[in-house]
Amino acid sequence: MKQQEFLATVMPFKDKLYRLAKRLLVSKEEAEDATQEILLKLWTRNEAMTKYKSVEAFAMTMTKNFCLDRLKSKQASNLKLVHSNYEDEGKKVQKQIENADSISWVEKIMEELPEQQKMVLQLRDIEEYDYEEIEQMLDMKPTAVRVTLSRARKAVREKLIQKHNYGIA
């Protein structure tokens, strides 16, 4: 197989090889190295590539195996195996704490809103009532409900952003 044929065969799926390597190796640099290594191996086997039904499938399998071997090697002590059922518990706990903190801030901010905005926001976003039901409960016009809700959400959003950005220049 000549160089032009090789390039025409391999280049269309080169990015797929990189994305698979990046998914497994996490590091951008490691993925680039792995992709380059696979392309080099394919080039050294370019005569045998004509025997394969799907060169792309063969290259993807090579990439997967190379990345898994790389993760198992001693050089990769700083890399971690990433797969679909991997969860970092530390990040999960931190996210839960951040969410709970944000919820408590939203509750505090809602308490500071005018009574009508507080009621509309509570009924629509927390209790999940339809606009028509809110109109009947609060004896308001449809446009008034939407405007009040919009203003309440905007006030909460602005105050929450202000709280989150506190101390950041």
Which tens digit of pLDDT belongs to each residue from 61-104?
899 889 888 888 755 555 555 554 455 666 788 888 888 888 88
Task: Kindly report each contact of residues 117-125 with a partner whose C-beta sits within 8 Å and lies 24 or more positions away, as own/partner.
Answer: 117/148, 117/149, 117/151, 117/152, 117/155, 118/152, 120/145, 120/148, 120/149, 120/152, 121/149, 121/152, 121/153, 121/156, 124/149, 125/149, 125/153
> Which residue, 107, 32, 98, is CA-closest to 63?
32
pLDDT of residue 40: 92
- % the chain with pLDDT above 90: 20
Give the model confidence (pLDDT) of 10-49 as tens digits: 888 888 888 888 888 878 888 899 999 999 998 888 888 7
Ordered by where they begin, the domains of the chain are: 3-76 (1.10.1740.10), 90-164 (1.10.10.10)
Q: Which amino acid appears at position 37 of this protein?
A: E
- % the chain with pLDDT above 70: 88
- What's the whole-model pTM score? 0.45
Q: Sign of torsion, CA 165 166 167 169?
A: positive
Confidence band of 147 (pLDDT split at 50, 70, 90): very high
Token output for 32: 């680039």
> Which residue, 149, 112, 144, is CA-closest to 127?
149
Mean pLDDT computed over every residue of the chain:
83
User: Could you give the CA distance from residue 74 to residue 29 in angstroms, rounded to a whole number?
Assistant: 17
Confidence band of 140 (pLDDT split at 50, 70, 90): very high
